[in-house]
Structure 1
Amino acid sequence: MNSDTNEGKWKQIKGEFKEKFGRATNDKSTEAEGSFDKLVGEIQEKYGETREKIEKEVKSW
């Protein structure tokens, strides 16, 4: 596993926490940010690309 894959796994964990925290505090912004982080982490883990490259690609969708 390369560092991008490991970073992707961490991003998923962090995103899931943000998402749940956002729901618990009724903060839609934090919840959405968590969902985005989780998505980027899943893509990063699967393809081993850098976070910056994936975020740029996802934002262009």
Structure 2
Amino acid sequence: MNTDRAMGAWTQVKGKMKEQWGKLTDDELDQMEGKWEQLSGLIQQRYGEAKDKVEEELNRYRDLMKDERAAPPPPPATPPGSLKGSL
């Protein structure tokens, strides 16, 4: 797996988690990368939410990460002036 894509997927998911759980810091989320059970416990503690609700949300984020990793990479940008006969 491409490490850059994995990091990009985590960065996107982390941003969405921060929108939902704004009390979590970037440092906390970075430390919890891949440690879903520990992250669940932290969210439960910080927000007082039920374990099953938190785990359901985290599963949604985990699935989103898988989707981001599996998505085909965007096509390469076409350099200016490389389109012959476009005018």
Coarse TM-score class (shorter-chain normalised): 0.3 to 0.5
Q: What TM-score does the superposition give when structure 2 sets the normalisation length?
A: 0.34
Give me the TM-score of the superposition, normalised by structure 1. 0.46
Q: Which has the higher contact order (CA 8 A, sep 6+)?
A: 1
